[in-house]
């Protein structure tokens, strides 16, 4: 049993292809840029939610930010001040954001070295 809508064939209007409209098309050639410039521009054009460092730094609490900034200060002394602990990732300039990323990568590496959880009973030592 066919439906009434499918029983009748509807002809699509014929489109003319001699009028070409270039919407958002570049008529000049692309700009020459280095690989780093290309990646930087690409990252800037992505949504902020696609930036994993930004998303993970901003979603965690001030205790985590304290640990990250303290570790970054160990890498480069006096890079961060105590009053900057609650600031979002976008607040910092690029060189300090790189330090934050290095610190978060170091913390991630620690997570691979340690077990998921320690028992509180490990405080007792064998004699």
Look at residues 85, 101, 104, 86 and name the one whose alpha carbon lies nearest to residue 43. 101
pLDDT of residue 25: 65
Average of per-residue pLDDT across 20-31: 67
Whole-number Å distance between alpha carbons of 86 and 99: 16
Cα of 87 vs its chain's centroid, Å: 17
Please give the structure tokens belonging to residue 17: 């292809």
User: What pTM value is reported for the model?
Assistant: 0.58
pLDDT of residue 76: 93
Query: HEC profile for 14-62?
Result: CCCCCCCCCCCCCCCCCCCCCHHHHHHHHHHHCCHHHCHHHHHHHHCCH
Cα of 22 vs its chain's centroid, Å: 32
Looking from the CA of 88 toward its CB, the CA atoms found within 13 Å total: 6
Domain residue ranges of the chain, discontinuous segments joined by +: 60-115
Question: If you average pLDDT over every residue of the chain, what do you get?
Answer: 80
């Amino acid at each position: 049993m066919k439906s009434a809508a499918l029983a009748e064939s509807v002809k699509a209007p014929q489109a003319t292809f001699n009028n070409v409209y270039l919407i958002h098309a570049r008529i000049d050639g692309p700009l020459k840029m280095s690989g780093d410039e290309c990646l930087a521009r690409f990252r800037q054009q992505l949504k902020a939610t696609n930036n994993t460092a930004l998303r993970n730094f901003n979603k965690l609490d001030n205790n985590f930010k304290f640990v990250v900034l303290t570790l970054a200060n160990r890498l480069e002394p006096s890079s961060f001040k105590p009053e900057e602990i609650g600031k979002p990732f976008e607040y910092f300039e690029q060189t300090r954001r790189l330090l934050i990323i290095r610190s978060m990568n170091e913390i991630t590496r620690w997570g691979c070295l340690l077990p998921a959880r320690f028992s509180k009973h490990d405080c007792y030592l064998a004699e």
